[in-house]
Each structure stands twice: as C-alpha cells, then as structure tokens.
Structure 1
Amino acid sequence: MKLAVVSLNSIWEDKQANLEEVERIVQTLNQKVEYVIFPEMSLTGFSVSNLALAEDFENSNSIRAIQKLAKENQMNIVFGLMISSGDKKYNSCIAVNNKGEIAGNYEKVHLFSYSGEDSLITGGTQLKSIDWEGGWGLSICFDLRFPELYQELSKENLILLNIANWPKTRVTHWRTLLNARAIENQSFMIGVNRTGVDGNGLEYEESSCVFSPKGEKTEPFEISEKVKIFDLNLEEAMEYRKNFPIKKDRRNSIYREFYS
C-alpha cells in the first residue's frame, strides 16, 4: 500500500491559496500513490476562533473541490476542515475516495480546552472507521493523548491515523504518543502534522511519520520538501497480531467498571 503524508505549511485562513497547493501536490503524486493525507484544518490552519471559516457539510465548496481532485487523479484523499451543521461547528477529518465520493467524516471528539477550542467548537460523539484497505481509524490532534479511543478503533483497523496541528514546543510528546499508540494497538500509526508558523505565532516542526505495529519508525522510500511516501505491508500487522496476540488478554469488563 503506497501512501503520501504531506507536511503542509497551511497559509493562515487562506483557503484558496492552500487549496491550490493541495491541488499541485496531488497532481505531482499522480500514479505514485493510492492515498494522500493532509494535516488538521488543512485549508485554514488551526483558526478555531474564526467561525466564519466553517463550511456547511452538505454544501461545501472545499469538499467539492477535493472530491473533484480525487476523482480526476484517482486518488484517496484525507484532509481537515471546520464544518458546520445547523448552528454547530466541528473540527473534522474528511476522507474522499478515488471516485470522488465521501468515504467518511470524523468530528474531533477530544477538544483542546487549553486553547479554548471547546468553547467554540462542538465535540464529536462517534468514532469513525473507513473501509479502505486494512481498515482506517480516524482521529485528530489532541485525540492522540486519549488511548481508549485507539483501543476501540484498532479492533477493526490495521491503520490508525491522526492529522494534527501539533506545535514544535510539544513535538517530543507527538512522536512518543504516536509510537505508544502503534505498540499498544499493534497497528500502523500514521501522524500527519503541519509545518511553518501559524497566525497565532505558533511554530511547527516537520514531524509527520509512521510507526509500525511493532513500534518501529517506518522509513519513507521517497522524500521531498513537504511529502514523504511510504509503502506499508499490512500483512506485517496481521502476522504480528497473530503471533503475539495481546488483545485477547484485555479485560474489558473490569475497564468498564473503572469508567462507570
């Protein structure tokens, strides 16, 4: 399975400029990969206070543009966008398949109260898996600190994905948590982070990466300034789970008592 992770330097609140860059990158990847993944709030940066950036999910120009791009290039695309539904706004991870159809939409469950995200955005209430090859479990940025989410997602998915705007000041946490989620769930853990400096003055370090089900950092076979291309062998995850079946030792009935 060939996929590209894009460490996009999202231009602050400029959807058109970011969309043009997304289109350029996807077109350069044509026929090289099956999947391409962009960071959280790909077209705006993490500007949760500007609620005017939200787009109605059923009538979104940005989603339509990505659908057209995916169909024309026969590529599966994952990207982040603030969407609206009625009077509520959500920080979403949207997956579009290579036919230009929406394969899934995940609304961020764990909101980053430290930044005030929880006072502006509505938290999602459902986990989301995509039935792409191997099964994909979706998550966004701050979700990474909550391992329970990934235990549930990994029941049916060999690939766990987190798209983020994770600042350089805490990038050691980012890499460590991605590694931990891979190890404890025996899944490929893909983290896609932005780069550059955002409109709040936060700096981001190029840190997009993939960890194997054994917790080993997977090396890309091709690297450019913004893009890393990986070739994942899903049989590795299936074989490892079979040979080292730690999930069968989980005691879910006791865990439920802890959280009741």
Structure 2
Amino acid sequence: MQSVQVCAIQMISGPVVADNLQRAKLLIAQAAQAGAKLVLLPEYFAMMGQTDQDKLAIQETFGAGPIQDFLAAAAREHDIYLVAGTIALRSEHATKVKNSCLVFDPAGACIARYDKIHLFGFDSDTEQFCESNTIVAGDAVVTFDTPFGRVGLAICYDLRFPELFRQVDGVDIWLLPAAFTATTGRAHWEVLLRARAIENQCFVIAADQGGEHPSGRTTYGHSMIIDPWGQVLNCLASGDGLVVAELKASQMQRVRSSLPALSHRVLSLPASD
C-alpha cells in the first residue's frame, strides 16, 4: 500500500436527480481541490425518493446512462478514482433493480461494479424498511486494485456481516457507501465500522447520507474514515460536506507487524453449498 489522501462525501439527497448531481459535482470538485485521489459518494447519492419505488424510474442499463456519464466525466475532469455510492441498475426483474456501486478510474473508465448483497429489513413501531421489495441482491464480493492498494466494496447493511469482509485477503481499504437510518445509526454505526477496521487491520472509509430528507426519512450521517487501529481520523456528524484524511501506509504496516492477528487466524469460513 502507498499513502493517499481520500475523501468521503456526505449528502442529504432528495427526489430530484439533477439537483443531487449538481450538489455532488460541487462536492467532488472540493474533494479534488483538497487533494483527494480516492473519492467516495454515499448510497443513493443520485436520488432519495419519496418512496422506495421511485428509484425504478431512474434505473440505467450498466454501461450507459446520464448518471454513469456524469460519474465518468467527473473522474476524468479531476483525475481521481470516483466510487459512486450506489445507483439503480436494471436487473432481470421488471419491478426490481440492482443497487450497485460503480468505480471509475482517472480516465473515466468503469473498472469495478459491486451489487449490494445484503438487503436491509427493519420493522419497528415507527419505521419499516424492506429493500427486497425493490432490489435484487448481488452474489459476489468485489475488490479492485489501485496504485495505492487493494480496495474492497460493501454497501450499508453489508456492514453487519463480518464474513463478507473476510471473503478476500489482502484488502487495504474497505469502502462503505450508506444511507443508515438515524435509529440504527445511533446504536451501531460507529462501533461496527471500527470493528471492521480493527478485525481486518485495514482502513475503512464510510460515506453516509446525513440529515432529514424531503420524504421525512432521517439518515444518521457521521461519515468517517478509520485507521487499522480503529481510530477515527475524521468525521462529519450531519449535513452535507467532506470528510478528508490521509491514509498512511506506515500506520497499516505498523499495526499488522506489531499485532499480526491476520496471520494468527485458525478457523476458516465454512464452505458454502
């Protein structure tokens, strides 16, 4: 791994795609001006609709579409790796989409795609969520290589499943775009993020939605960057804005050499059927 400046972008996306893209464009430019070479957008950055079904109206075919064109152009313009939160991509089901995280390199080429594996379900006295009503789950863990290290992709609810992060070895940085609810975020967001960083001795960059949306939904925010020792390097509690930090290769090397827990692993994951 090489040291690198990175940025997690926090947004409060609404139902109008053009407005969200305009805000994302400004924040991406600010991140690049701050020296970030890897920039992460939050889940649903292009639209947080009034209903879960609203995202079906803006779904794109993988490899073509105005949102993907916007992302490719932004990556090229600013010479960055741009990790595009999630966008709705067409699936094999007419009434469901894939919730997909796309990675664009500094030339504007899409070099990785991860489809969210774990679909959020939550039912309390005041809130109900069931992503499987509108989303088709993915089935593969995805990593990609950069000049500054190997990067892994996960999305929001995936955070609760540590086995996902152990499916592949040699990941230096895990990225997690999210739209965590305020209810679950207050209880679990930071502790889970820090746990994933500590147990995998890697950096974790998490970009969340962060405020009250026009639909009435409130997301938790607290986008943050965490080092392999579990220390929070930077955090934004609420509102839209940037979380910038330098990921120091020497820090990860120091943690892994002084406490070589990854090489002390005894139990392996059970074989899947």
TM-score, structure 1 as length reference: 0.90
* Cα distance in structure 2, aligned partners of 1:157 and 1:57: 26
* Cα distance in structure 2, aligned partners of 1:219 and 1:230: 7
In structure 2, give the amino acid aligned to 1:7.
Answer: Q
Q: Once the two structures are aligned, what percentage of the paired residues are identical?
A: 27
> Is 2:20–2:47's contact at 8 Å kept on the other side of the alignment?
yes
Correspondence for 1:28: 30
> Is 1:49–1:120's contact at 8 Å kept on the other side of the alignment?
yes
1:194 aligns with 2:209: yes
> Is 1:57–1:85's contact at 8 Å kept on the other side of the alignment?
no
Correspondence for 2:14: 11
1:58 aligns with 2:63: yes
Aligned-pair CA distance for 1:33: 1.6
Return the match for 2:5 from 2, 5, 10: 2
> Is 2:225–2:243's contact at 8 Å kept on the other side of the alignment?
no
Aligned-pair CA distance for 1:23: 1.1
Q: CA RMSD in A?
A: 2.0
* Cα distance in structure 2, aligned partners of 1:119 and 1:204: 20
> Is 1:36–1:75's contact at 8 Å kept on the other side of the alignment?
yes
> Is 1:113–1:119's contact at 8 Å kept on the other side of the alignment?
no
> Is 1:6–1:37's contact at 8 Å kept on the other side of the alignment?
yes
> Is 1:92–1:108's contact at 8 Å kept on the other side of the alignment?
yes
Aligned-pair CA distance for 1:199: 4.5
Return the match for 1:72 from 65, 72, 77: 77
> Is 1:67–1:102's contact at 8 Å kept on the other side of the alignment?
yes
> Is 2:12–2:240's contact at 8 Å kept on the other side of the alignment?
no
* Cα distance in structure 2, aligned partners of 1:99 and 1:28: 19
Q: What SS does the aligned partner of 2:154 have?
A: strand
Aligned-pair CA distance for 1:39: 0.3
Correspondence for 2:137: 123
TM-score, structure 2 as length reference: 0.86
Give the structure with the higher percent helix.
1
Aligned-pair CA distance for 1:116: 1.6
* Cα distance in structure 2, aligned partners of 1:48 and 1:130: 30
Q: What SS does the aligned partner of 1:19 have?
A: helix
1:42 aligns with 2:45: yes
Aligned-pair CA distance for 1:29: 3.2
* Cα distance in structure 2, aligned partners of 1:89 and 1:40: 14
* Cα distance in structure 1, aligned partners of 2:32 and 2:132: 38
* Cα distance in structure 2, aligned partners of 1:214 and 1:68: 36
- Higher-RCO chain (CA-CA 8 Å, sequence separation at least 6): 2
Aligned-pair CA distance for 1:54: 1.4
4+ runs deviating over 3 angstroms: 85-88
Q: What SS does the aligned partner of 2:135 have?
A: coil
> Is 2:7–2:245's contact at 8 Å kept on the other side of the alignment?
yes
Q: What SS does the aligned partner of 1:163 have?
A: strand
The equivalences for 1:78-227 within 5 A come to: 78-79=83-84, 80-87=86-93, 89-114=97-122, 115-132=129-146, 133-153=148-168, 155-172=169-186, 173-219=188-234, 226-227=241-242
Distance 1:225 1:195, change over 3 A: closer
> Is 1:45–1:165's contact at 8 Å kept on the other side of the alignment?
no
* Cα distance in structure 2, aligned partners of 1:205 and 1:117: 18
Correspondence for 1:237: 252
User: Could you give the per-residue CA deviations for residues 58-90 of structure 1, whole angstroms, max 9, x where no partner exists?
Assistant: 322101111011101112111121111443510
> Is 1:7–1:193's contact at 8 Å kept on the other side of the alignment?
yes
Aligned-pair CA distance for 1:129: 0.4
* Cα distance in structure 1, aligned partners of 2:70 and 2:120: 28
Aligned-pair CA distance for 1:152: 2.1
